[in-house]
Amino acid sequence: MKPAPFEYEAPESLDAALELMQEHGSEAKLLAGGQSLIPVMNFRLAQPAMLVDLNRLAELDFIRPGENGSVRIGAMTRMTRLERYAELERYSPLLAEAIPFIAHPQIRNRSTLGGSLSHADPAAEAPAVCLAEGARFRLARASGERWVAANDFFQGLFETVLEPEEILVEIELESPPVRTGSSFQEIARRQGDYALAGVAASVRLRDDGVIDAARLIFFSVGDQPVDATAAAGLLAGETPSAALYEAAAIEAAEKEIDPVGTIHATPDFTRHLVGVLTRRALALAVTRAQEASA
């Protein structure tokens, strides 16, 4: 299939891109890595009258330290650049662990962090990671900008709070607090496929080894990432143990997700996977938190 006809602009600056978005609004689409948008256009599921190509905006391709141990990542930063950034694990261990699971190297050479987050595919890894790590996103428009927490950004199936004239320009991730461990787990049919189910988990320990707080974000289990707050709540104030992980796994699998089923995974199978992933992720996250405390 070929896309429907469209106008094309490749602005040289963010200001010029923002002006184009202000002018064309919902008639326009932004082109980042194109790894999701171009297939969608080829199937004519999207028929923008105007394509605004962000690929000349070097000002949106950066990784730099922020304040208080955070890292700031430009929206046009390619997944491969992030994968090769040796410091990423220190700033965002979950993102560092998740990136190799995102598609294939050829796709990661083009796809961008901003594109993945804006696309808001419920099976994507990056939104779950950003939720688990409490990321913040900077959204710009011609008349100004706003910061939005990851928690407020994702609104549903391929839905975010981005307005038609807005561009996601930057992502900020804060380094995990002390005595924190995390684990990213997913199960896919083949390496590079979208996950059948996955989880981004993080656990913070008190100095006596008891769990202080935990976060469990599941993806590919519904129409958007699921923040399993009840399962995480079972962990707080408890001593880590296999029985505790099992209780959290049952809570998450049976009460907090509502899978509709796909041709690859029935709802029951998805629940089974969520149970397995929860146990694995919690055991590893706690071990890492213990190592970080030693």
Ligand X SMILES: Cc1cc2nc3c(=O)[nH]c(=O)nc-3n(C[C@H](O)[C@H](O)[C@H](O)COP(=O)(O)OP(=O)(O)OC[C@H]3O[C@@H](n4cnc5c(N)ncnc54)[C@H](O)[C@@H]3O)c2cc1C
Q: What residues make contact with ligand X under the rule CB under 6 A?
A: 29-37, 75, 102-103, 107, 110-112, 114-116, 118-119, 121, 124-126, 162, 167-168, 194
Please say which residue, 91 or 194, places its beta carbon nearer to ligand X.
194
CB 82 within 8 A of CB 73: yes
Smallest distance, Å, CB 197 to ligand X?
Answer: 13
Smallest distance, Å, CB 138 to ligand X?
Answer: 10
Please say which residue, 113 or 253, places its beta carbon nearer to ligand X.
113
Cα(125)–Cα(140) distance, integer angstroms: 24
Smallest distance, Å, CB 289 to ligand X?
Answer: 26
Smallest distance, Å, CB 75 to ligand X?
Answer: 4
Smallest distance, Å, CB 248 to ligand X?
Answer: 25
Please say which residue, 170 or 251, places its beta carbon nearer to ligand X.
170
Please say which residue, 90 or 189, places its beta carbon nearer to ligand X.
189
**Minimal CB distance to ligand X: which residue?**
115
Smallest distance, Å, CB 245 to ligand X?
Answer: 26
**Dihedral sign, Cα of residue 290, residue 201, residue 151, residue 228:** negative
Smallest distance, Å, CB 104 to ligand X?
Answer: 7
Please say which residue, 125 or 133, places its beta carbon nearer to ligand X.
125
Please say which residue, 7 or 254, places its beta carbon nearer to ligand X.
7
Query: Which phi and psi angles does 57 have, rounded to 5°?
Result: -90, 80
Please say which residue, 184 or 245, places its beta carbon nearer to ligand X.
184
